[in-house]
Amino acid sequence: MDGAALAARIRSELKDEIAELGGVGLATVLVGDDPASEIYIRLKHKAADEVGIRALDKRLPGETSEEDVLELVAELNEDDSVDGILVQTPLPEHIDEARVMRTIEPIKDVDGLHPYNAGQLFFGRQTLVGATPVGIMRLLGEYQIAVAGARAVVVGRSLIVGRPVAMLLLHANATVTICHSRTDDLARHTLDADILVAAVGQIGLISADMVKQGAAVVDVGINRTEEGLFGDVDPGVADVAAFLTPVPGGVGPMTIACLLENAVRAARYRRGALAFPRS
Ligand code: NAP
């Protein structure tokens, strides 16, 4: 499954929409100097610039207090030129991530991490849903992979990937199993999967003998080593799976494209072109 090609198409379609809206503003907040987070922020800004989104790059030193981070988020909430706000995670340990997410105005919450948006997803009334889970569903749709009635297994239960993608698969009528670090006999579950999503962060955790013949396998993992980027899925899985997302070039570019799409969606909500359910 070629995420790079689909992402390029989405980005080019967005350009016209953004021009029609008369511009869209996306603010990112990076606290500290985590090297992987810096790369993600750079990629997000580059992609935003290319489609004509005004990207605001807010950076705070790692020792910034929680109150100061909350204050910056509150300022961005008030800033009318900002349609979407993304706080890059992980935040330094002394900052309560959940409290920061709760401070973002739900209508600007492009990562879908405010409890309001997460709750809407839980109820099956999607508002803003994180870019990675949305990107995964778009890829499955692009390759016409039947989700309704399929057995989907999601390995990983993070708030940013595992749980929301499991919810989206459930709403698309898959029968969903969520696995995690305490799952006993992981292969027993993965072997049953028509659709297998690996979002763990362990190189090659999913080997060919854990995958059903003909399955669609989505590798979300991004593991950086001196030899390059590797996913959670062993390349040998390509011999068994009917579909497999490469790393790099699979979910990664889709995440960026869908983040831009979420910023446009937030702009539509804010301008009343789409109804944001508030009461
Ligand atoms: P995370 O918050 O660290 O969550 C990892 C999940 O994997 C946890 O739920 C953990 O279980 C589970 N896990 C750990 N070891 C396991 C094992 N041996 N068997 C089964 N489950 C296990 O990570 P994340 O933020 O979801 O990210 C996961 C990976 O995706 C990372 O490599 C990250 O870099 C990558 N990622 C990629 C994109 C993209 O755009 N491609 C976007 C986001 C993340 P517990 O809950 O029990 O601890």
The whole-number pLDDT of residue 196 equals 99
Q: What is the DSSP string of 73-118?
A: HHHHHH-TT--EEEE-SSPPTTS-HHHHHHHS-GGGBTT--SHHHH
Q: Which atom of ligand 1 is nearest to the CA of 254?
A: 40
Low-confidence ranges of the chain (pLDDT < 70): 279
- Least Cα distance to 36 among 223, 210, 166 occurs for 223
Residue nearest to atom 2 of ligand 1 (CA): 158
Q: How far apart are CA 143 and CA 130, in angstroms?
A: 21
Q: Tokens in use for 193?
A: 């999967």
* CA 117 to each of CA 69, 106, 113, 127: distance values in angstroms, whole numbers, following the listed order: 21, 7, 7, 6
- Least Cα distance to 251 among 39, 2, 43 occurs for 2
Check if 7 has its Cβ closer than 6 Å to any atom of ligand 1: no
The whole-number pLDDT of residue 279 equals 62
Q: Residue 251: which residues within 8 A CB-CB, separation 6 or more?
A: 3, 132, 135, 136, 139, 218, 219, 220, 245
Check if 190 has its Cβ closer than 6 Å to any atom of ligand 1: no
CB 32 within 8 A of CB 59: no
Q: Which amino acid is at 33?
A: D
Q: Is 108 known to be catalytic?
A: no
Check if 186 has its Cβ closer than 6 Å to any atom of ligand 1: yes
pTM of the model: 0.98
Give the residue, out of 34, 134, 200, with the most ligand 1 atoms within 8 A of its beta carbon, to mutate for a pocket test. Answer: 200
Check if 130 has its Cβ closer than 6 Å to any atom of ligand 1: no
- Least Cα distance to 210 among 186, 240, 187, 233 occurs for 187
Q: How far apart are CA 238 and CA 246, in angstroms?
A: 10
Cα 35 to ligand 1 centre (Å): 18
Q: Is 111 known to be catalytic?
A: yes
Check if 203 has its Cβ closer than 6 Å to any atom of ligand 1: no
Q: How far apart are CA 76 and CA 72, in angstroms?
A: 6
Check if 255 has its Cβ closer than 6 Å to any atom of ligand 1: yes
Catalytic residue among 111, 194, 219, 234: 111
Q: Is 15 known to be catalytic?
A: no
Edge-to-edge, what's the strand order for the sheet holding 84-87?
Answer: 53-60, 24-31, 84-87
Cα 125 to ligand 1 centre (Å): 25
CB 203 within 8 A of CB 233: no
The whole-number pLDDT of residue 278 equals 82
